A and B are shown apart, each in its own frame.
Chain A
Amino acid sequence: MNAADVFINCPFSRDYDTHFKAIVFVVIRSGFNPRCAREDDDVGDIRYEKICRIIAECKFGVHDISYTGLYDGPAGDADFPLPRFNMPLELGLFLGAKKFGGDVQAKKKIVVFDRDEHRFRKFISDISGSDIKAHNNNTTDLITTLATWLRHVSQRRTVPGPAAMLAEYRSFTEVLPVLCASQTLLPEEVEYHDYVWMVSEWMRQRAQ
């Protein structure tokens, strides 16, 4: 298990992209490595196996269950609306690894985000007592709460405070379109690996 790896369990839909990019930014700026199911399949993993492997490697887990709800499917499919269950499933896997994975995995730290602080009680009340935070569907709350949490659980005083983190994220989002344009991409088209490199390299050069 890597003490610098943070598993990000969240929707990968376009309408969540701003939140996802904000989480990745905070994780990198705090001195950690973001990990998620968007990583390369370098060993031909099936998705479930890949997720299990990544979870086993991560000490920290950031889970967003705010998209748990009923969604319409393709027109004419009578089985819909159905819930999206991937996020609660991956949260359960992470909790299971922590509970049954032995002494090392027991050191895992988890934060769970939802739209508000109490909604989870209506559909996944068994996790009561866990660290549940509200991001109120806005990126500012997500960034400041996650920065505070990472600073606290990692006990690293070098992790920037919430206001500083937010200011830096805003600076980065100003240059992101310029970085993307150098490869004729729009910010919403940039791939996960490229985004991680952009954030990391921007931070490295900004410190020089």
Chain B
Amino acid sequence: MNMQAPKSFQKEDARPKVLGVTKDGVKILRPKFPPKNFTERELRDAVAKALETSPAKSA
């Protein structure tokens, strides 16, 4: 029986897109799919606003 895997199984990846880098050097990758109930701008604004009022801002 031929156990050869399909060609698509054998491909190595392209480099993922990076959204940002944390202070400890971890690359936060850009999500593969767009948000559904927000635009990206709305999300950025919502996070910025939440962080303004949050005591924890260091990583």
Show the binding face of A for B, using Cβ within 8 Å.
1-5, 28-33, 35, 39-40, 56-57, 97, 100-105, 156, 158-160, 168, 171, 174-175, 178-179, 182-183, 185, 190-191, 193-194, 196-198, 200-208
Cα distance A198–B17 in the bound complex, in angstroms: 17
Evaluate contact between B42 and A105: CB separation under 8 angstroms: no
Would A203 and B20 count as touching, CB distance under 8 A?
Answer: yes
Q: Which residue of A lies closest to B24 (CB)?
A: A158
Contact A206 B35 (CB under 8 A): no
Q: Please tell me which one of the listed residues A2, A101, A198, A201 contacts residue B19 in the complex, with CB atoms under 8 A apart.
A: A201
Task: Assess A100 versus B48: contact at CB under 8 Å? Given A1-B13, A29-B26, A197-B31.
Answer: no
By secondary structure, the B interface counts as loop
- Shortest A98–chain B CB gap in Å is 11
- CB proximity of A153 to chain B, nearest CB, Å: 15
**Can you pick out 23 interface pairs between chain A and chain B where the beta carbons lie within 8 Å of each other?**
A4-B29, A29-B26, A31-B28, A31-B29, A39-B32, A40-B33, A100-B5, A103-B10, A105-B5, A158-B25, A158-B26, A174-B56, A175-B47, A179-B47, A179-B50, A183-B46, A201-B44, A205-B48, A205-B51, A206-B51, A206-B57, A207-B22, A208-B20
The answer to whether B5 and A182 touch across the interface, beta carbons within 8 angstroms, is no
* Chain B contacts with A in 9-59, Cβ cutoff 8 A: 9-13, 16, 19-38, 40, 42-51, 53-54, 56-59
Closest Cβ–Cβ distance, residue B10 to chain A (whole Å)? 5
Given A194, A203, A205, which contacts B36 in the complex, CB threshold below 8 Å?
Answer: A194
- CA distance in complex: A190, B42 (Å): 15
- Establish whether residues B10 and A201, one from each chain, have CB atoms under 8 Å apart when the complex forms: no
Q: A1-B12, A100-B3, A183-B37 are in contact. Are A207 and B31 (CB under 8 A)?
A: no
- Complex CA–CA separation, A168 to B56 (angstroms): 9
State whether A33 touches B29 (Cβ < 8 A): yes
Distance A158 CA – B59 CA, assembled complex (angstroms): 12
How far does the alpha carbon of A84 sit from the alpha carbon of B34 in the complex, in Å?
Answer: 31
In the complex, residue of chain A having the shortest beta-carbon distance to the beta carbon of B44:
A201
Does B47 lie within 8 Å of A104, measured CB to CB?
no
Other-chain residue from A32, A104, A179 in contact with B29 (beta carbon distance below 8 A): A32
- Cβ-defined partner of A193 (8 Å) among B19, B36, B42, B53: B36
Knowing that A39-B33, A182-B46, A205-B48 are A-B contacts, what are 11 other residue pairs whose CB atoms are under 8 Å apart, sorted by A's residue number?
A1-B11, A33-B16, A56-B8, A102-B10, A104-B12, A105-B9, A159-B26, A198-B43, A203-B22, A206-B51, A207-B20
Q: How far is the CA of A105 from the CA of B56 in the complex (A)?
A: 40
